[in-house]
Amino acid sequence: MIKKIYFLENSKKQYDGSYRCNPILRGAELAIINYSEELAKKGYEVFVLNNCLKSCEINKVKYFNINNKNNKFECDVAIANADANLFSNVKSRKNFLFSHSIQNFEKFLKKNQLFSFLKYKPKVLCFSRYHLNNRSFLTSFYGKKLIIPSIDNDFFDTPLEKNEINENAIFYSRADRNSNLVLQIWKNLYSKIPRSQKLFVTSDVDINYEDMEKFNIQKKEFMNKHDLINFLKKFRLLIIPGHKGEVFCNVAEEAKALGIPIVTLGLGALNERVIDNYNGFSCNNISDFEDKILNLLQNDSLYLKFKNNLIKDRGLHKWKDSIESLILLF
């Protein structure tokens, strides 16, 4: 019988469950916080070994610093974040590995993962069908399984106005996830876009002040969760091409939960985040991408149709649903 579960994580980020609103945390760390707390709600003993500043208990999850080698922890299940070498910190009956990348075999070897894989025999947990299908057998030879994550419940619980028409577009992702393409398309379309409509991009996007002024583009810093919700829900559409390294895309799910249609090229896992012509558009090429962005910016009735479809479907997949898939794997 499964009773004790350990999550193992060794990024430089010093966090525990009280940091869930902090913008320094990304999808990987938030997944650990949410999965651990949902398992604790189910009555499991749950521990997180990471670089937390001090030992503590948050929402029935116990946090310990992973660099404290005085203890050899024993558990029924260990789930390591992206690094099979972390299993050396525990003695467990079953091992699973959260994967956040496709990871080719060369990179796998460079990170010295092979020996630990052979020793600890983890099953790899993938976060999308794209991820599952493209993660090489050579980096997951003890099996790989699909679990679909979720997002924080606050995104689902925020009140939305069904008939409110928002104006602006946003690219809210890392700059290396095809931000240059978004900027170029916005410039191409600018003569056809009403002057009142703006494009917002994240602060790491490379654009000069002159272009920002000329094409009505503004930058925005990454925000904590509550500020992000209040900011993001005011947008008309999320423009996000996708990227081959995108194995889930939290911001796409967050936008959908706030009633924001998405226009994407479907790169990486983005094709799985959108139902084409129902809650956004998944486009086949750059020309189609431009046309669909312009259509959603100009067509209020289409925008409201997609928005209300998203509002109708809010909360169909929460962490409590995702955790059932994980428990079945145990």
CA distance linking residue 152 with residue 38, whole number of Å: 12
Residue range(s) occupied by CATH 3.40.50.11930 in the chain: 4-147
> CATH assignment of 153-312?
3.40.50.2000
The one-digit pLDDT tens for each residue of the chain (330 residues) are 889 999 999 999 999 999 988 888 888 899 999 999 999 999 999 999 999 999 999 999 999 999 987 677 999 999 999 999 999 999 999 999 999 888 777 778 878 889 999 999 999 999 999 999 999 888 898 999 999 999 999 999 999 999 999 999 999 999 999 999 999 999 999 999 988 899 999 999 999 999 999 999 999 998 888 999 999 999 999 999 999 999 999 999 999 999 999 999 999 999 999 999 999 999 999 999 999 999 999 999 999 999 999 999 999 999 999 999 999 998
The residue assigned the tokens 């090429």 is 285
Residue range(s) occupied by CATH 3.40.50.2000 in the chain: 153-312
Instruction: Kindly report the pTM of this predicted structure.
Output: 0.93
Q: Name which of 125, 161, 128 is nearest 145 in CA terms.
A: 125
Read off the DSSP letter of residue 196.
Answer: T
Specify burial of residue 288 (Cβ count, 10 A radius: 0-12, 13-18, 19+). middle
Tokens of 203: 């602060």
Q: Name which of 149, 99, 152 is nearest 322 in CA terms.
A: 149
What is the fold, at CATH topology level, of the domain defined by 4-147? Rossmann fold (3.40.50)
Q: What are phi and psi of 276, to 5 degrees?
A: -60, 130
